A and B are shown apart, each in its own frame.
Chain A
Amino acid sequence: MNGRNLRNDLFYYLGILLICAPFLKMHTVYVPLVLLVAWGVRSCAAFAGESRTFSDIRLKTVNTLVAHQTLAVGVILSAALLLPFASSNYLIDVLTSAILYAILATALNITVGLTGVLVLGFIGFYGVGAYTTGILTAKFALCGFWIALPLSGLAAMLCGVLLGIPALRLKGDYLAVVTLGFGEIIRIFLTNLNGLTGGPNGILGIKRPSFGLFTLDHPRDFYWFSLAMLALIVLIVSRLANSRYGRSWVAIRENEMAAGALGINVFRKHLLSFSLSAFFGGIAGSLFAVKQGFISPDSFTFYESVLVLCMVVLGGIGNVIGSVTGALLLIVVPEFLREFSLYRMLVFGAVMIAFMVFRPNGLLGSRMITQEIQDREDDGQ
């Protein structure tokens, strides 16, 4: 027991030092100060963990949040709606990226979080969606954005089905490697299919969507549009998660054999979750294409796949709101660390490790609400 505590302590203080290293910039004088603050934070956390009043307050907060869910969602949404008035165009742009990643994380959460299938090449679907929009609206100018948007989703979904039918017969790590291969194949296709995709130069001049005469040219307008899409997709996914579909997915994640013995066609449900994920991934890709106005294979590397996966894991596997939170954290926070760009990945890695050690279930956990009502007295008791 003691050995483990000591190891945890070491982990914690070394991690803090590592994260702070770029900020200290070799001013070793501040090291004791940092350690002191770290110690203080930790003692407070320990106190809060044991204190009865604090746990009561925490329980009450969660219960109030659960009771006034609609209100809480409303407050957050209106804050998000008003945010552009108080921020620079640069910040709005960062937030729009974060929203696109949030859509991706929400989509990936269907397979990784709910169904328990590890997908390592998810960005492939994003790429297919983005290029479908690019090719249809700019390269060959066949149709407008509003037709290209659903077609992008469907194209990605088609890829998902074609990949899923053979690949989903594999299990666990083997499947993960196949999806990793898929992501790379898409990127190599995009780089080499010069006639269709413009090769390494990509596709230029993709226009922003418009409602009649009104074009979403201002970053603020596009931010609102993306926000609306995110809200819609989160709504759809969370409703599916709280229905027979979500239940079957989670049952398969928890135990495939038992789910099969209860009449659930494991392969069909896997394919459904996989293709839904791909569909929403493609939608996000389409939005990305019109946001940037320019797409090239460089935007769809393995690193992006890992980043999206980190968002899902960080927010809490299987938790729809968690995926959105994870995406916001992983996109917005590193923006503030831009001046330490050399150390960015180091800090990023340290934070991920810290999470896996101290909160393996993610920031919000996989079942925030049920865990709190676990010990609830039964009604009428």
Chain B
Amino acid sequence: MTASDILTTDSLSVTFGGVKALAGVSISVRQGEILSIIGPNGAGKTTFFNAVTGAYAPTGGRVFLSGREITDMGPDQVARLGLARSFQNLKPFAEMTLLENVLVGREIHMASGMLAAILRSPAFHRDEAAQKQRARELLSFVGLEQRRDQLARNLTYGERKMLEIARALALEPSVLLLDEPVAGMNPTETGFVMELVQNIRRQGITVVIIEHDMKMVMGISDRIYVLDHGELIAEGLPHEVRANPAVIEAYLGGGTLAPAH
């Protein structure tokens, strides 16, 4: 682990019954990069996210965030330390408005207490107003500002993904994990997300992406890790990974990878 590594795992393993979903995966994410994790379905990518963020308890190995061990922490503690995530099968708070959805993400930054909420003290109003302002900025960052008072259940699939990103950014994380951010999106929407991810990185947030869309992966990744059957089979720059025979074998079952552009 070098000083520039912000998130590292040391032979992280997860076993379900007798099935090894993750078999000793060691990766290191560098500060400020966009890193992609690819691999065929069932390779253990989402399990990896779940184990890193504390949603699953890893059966072996260790996880470090900015040099601090987070292996046995719960999801909420991990989130408070600056590791945010989106979900592959979307989980917006359907019966809340978009603004409220993002405000839930601001919860850890709110200062006013219960008595202030009951008495509606000036401190409460100040806190609410400031957090609402921040939430609106985040919604406009993902292009949903105009719809802030609608319920999240009225959003389209693509919009829900954007809402999840805004909500995760509300934590002001140092690392953002995105689980298939463009799955099921059309090329225009994919282009928008690619730009969005670049903008997020420009704010100094490290981004780790799980994605199947090769145009996106090859287009924006600084580095790529490839998982197959719970094991790391390759890592490197996009053009190295694209040419790696083991990757081609695992990913496409032989043959050649589609041209990048």
**Residues of A participating in the B interface, judged by any CB pair closer than 8 Å:** 236, 239-240, 243-245, 247-248, 250-251, 254-255, 257-266, 318, 366-367, 370-371, 373-374, 376, 378, 381
Contacts and interface: CB of A to CB of B under 8 A. Distances in A.
B117 A262 contact: no
Contacts of A258: 87, 91-93, 167
Interface in B63-114: 74-76, 79-80, 84-85, 87, 91-97, 100, 103-105, 107-108, 110, 112, 114
Interface string B113-142: 010011010001000100000000000000
Contact of B91 (A255, A266, A378): A255
B54 to A, nearest CB: 8
Contacts of B117: 239-240, 243-245
A96 B183 CA distance: 57
Interface residues of B, number: 42
A370 B95 CA distance: 10
Contacts of A248: 104, 107
Contacts of B96: 247, 250-251, 254
B186 interface: no
Given A250-B96, A370-B149, A261 B85 contact: yes
A263 B105 CA distance: 8
Contacts of A367: 95, 151
17 contacts: A243-B128, A247-B107, A255-B91, A260-B55, A260-B74, A261-B55, A261-B84, A262-B84, A262-B104, A262-B171, A265-B74, A265-B76, A367-B95, A370-B97, A374-B150, A378-B147, A378-B149
Interface string B150-174: 1100100000000000011011000
3 smallest CB-CB distances across A and B, nearest first, come from A243-B117, A263-B79, A258-B91
A88 to B, nearest CB: 37
B188 interface: no
Contacts of A236: 118
A254 B84 contact: no
B2 interface: no
A241 to B, nearest CB: 10
B104 A374 contact: no
B118 A239 contact: yes
A199 to B, nearest CB: 39
A309 to B, nearest CB: 20
Contacts of A265: 74, 76
Most chain A CB within 10 A, of B84, B93, B96, B128, is at: B93
B8 interface: no
A372 to B, nearest CB: 11
Interface in B31-73: 53, 55
B146 interface: yes
A236 B118 CA distance: 6
B91 A374 contact: no
Most chain B CB within 10 A, of A240, A254, A318, is at: A254
Interface in B163-194: 167-168, 170-171
Nearest to B85: A261
B149 A262 contact: no
Given A236-B118, A240-B114, A259-B104, A366 B146 contact: no
B76 A264 contact: yes
A45 B170 CA distance: 45
B108 A263 contact: yes
A7 to B, nearest CB: 26
Contacts of A318: 95
A244 B113 CA distance: 9
Given A240-B118, A260-B75, A254 B150 contact: no
Contacts of B100: 247, 250
Given A254-B94, A262-B76, 15 more contacts: A243-B112, A243-B124, A243-B128, A244-B112, A247-B103, A257-B75, A257-B91, A258-B87, A261-B76, A261-B87, A263-B80, A265-B74, A370-B149, A378-B146, A378-B148
